[in-house]
Amino acid sequence: MMPGRRAFMRALGYTLGAVAVGGVRGRAFAGTPGMRVIADNDYAGDPDGLFQLAHHLLCPTVDVRLVVGSHLHEHEAWSAEPDQAARAAAKANELLTVLGMAGRVPVLAGAEHAIDDALRPAMTPAAQAIIQEALRTDTRSPLYYTAGAGLTDLATAWLNEPRIGRRMTLVWIGGPEYPGTPPPPGPAEAEYNLTIDQRAAQVVFNRSDIDIWQVPRSTYRQMIVGHAELVARLRPAGPAGEYLLGNVERVRQLVASMPEDRGISVGDTYVLGDSPLVTLTALQTPIQPDAASSHYVLRPRPTIDGRGSYGRSSGGRPIRVYDRIDTRLTFEDLYARLAEHARRVPTVA
């Protein structure tokens, strides 16, 4: 028996004994928070971020400390208004209400624009809250910064307070394919999340000391789910399931209304590309915690060049680059948690 497993079995035996004599440690079976998460996403854009946030909020072993609504590109098709981050925060609060969790987690709008000063961008309430959480000394619980869009708010926080770098792990959905992996078919395009704020990505990759677990485009494109499956599994899953499905249907209607020459079709699938943020944090193994069912390679930490491509190594610590995510675990766990939530909370609180 491995040492880690032996220690786990000793702890389990102690917990069972405690429960037998009065339930002192019974909370362990209900799932107590084992990690802290800051969730940063463009919730007013592609609704895959709403799936990620709902999933994280329904995981009892995750303590979601802060939700940051982040901006998109200017004149974005998803949300062309100038207050995209505020709208993202509003969508996050809307989801919390649907889940019956209104007011339980702080939600802040991030910066409304990409950083324009890579030396010291202006402090924002979101960046201040990130710094405050990262510098806490009253907990040893690991802190994961899960980002499903641009990195504006994290870069702003680090530039204003570099001490946060060694106190968190960034899990980022973004970045192009690495050499040896073909890009998607069709005209060459820069990776979407990187282009939201390329300067911020350069700060994080080229200069910061933040540990990085990266899910590049070639990997997040694998998070494919059938539309029929979404309908079958979400429609019975109470208000939260209907809410998430409704946001997907809104996108499908938008795409269906576009001219055919745009080269986009509705199709029979949807890509929940932000869901690895949950797989790699909440769904770790209980013994020697890690995202053991997904696969990564360790790479020298690259720089991001002015074209949005990978340059020479920055000389920093290696990064994890995930090339395969356990989709079965991810989607089935999401469906199960939504179904259980619907049984426990059948109506909006």
Secondary structure of 82-150 as H, E, C letters = CCHHHHHHHHHHHHHHHCCCCCCCCEEECCCCCCCCCCCCCCCHHHHHHHHHHCCCCCCCCEEEEECCC
Cross-strand pairs, 215 = 173
Q: What pLDDT score was predicted for residue 186?
A: 85
Q: Which residue has the tokens 């973004």?
A: 174
Q: What pLDDT score was predicted for residue 1?
A: 47
Listed residue (189, 95, 179, 192) closest to 148, CA to CA: 192
As a whole number, mean pLDDT of residues 93-112 equals 97
Q: Is 1 exposed, middle or buried (0-12, 13-18, 19+ CB in 10 A)?
A: exposed
Q: Which of 28-32, 219-223, 247-251 has the lowest mean pLDDT?
A: 28-32
Residue 108 main-chain phi, psi, to 5 deg: -130, 145
Cross-strand pairs, 108 = 68
Give the pLDDT confidence of 224-256 residue by residue, as tens digits: 999 999 999 999 999 999 999 999 999 988 888
Task: Compute the distance between CA of residue 158 and CA of residue 179 in angstroms, rounded to an integer.
Answer: 29
Give residue 76's identity as a one-letter amino acid code: E
**Does residue 312 register a pLDDT over 70?**
yes
**Does residue 346 register a pLDDT over 90?**
no
Q: Is 293 exposed, middle or buried (0-12, 13-18, 19+ CB in 10 A)?
A: middle
**Does residue 15 register a pLDDT over 50?**
no
As a whole number, mean pLDDT of residues 4-23 equals 41
Q: Are 258 and 267 contacting, i.e. CB atoms less than 8 angstroms apart?
A: no
Task: Compute the distance between CA of residue 70 and CA of residue 158 in angstroms, rounded to an integer.
Answer: 16
Give the angle 55-56-60 at the CA atoms, nearest 5°. Answer: 105
Q: Which of 17-26, 194-203, 321-330 has the lowest mean pLDDT?
A: 17-26
Task: Compute the distance between CA of residue 127 and CA of residue 130 in angstroms, rounded to an integer.
Answer: 5
Structural domains of the chain in order of their starting residue, each with its CATH number:
27-223+272-326 (3.90.245.10)
Give residue 38's identity as a one-letter amino acid code: I
pTM of the model as a whole: 0.89
**Does residue 347 register a pLDDT over 70?**
no
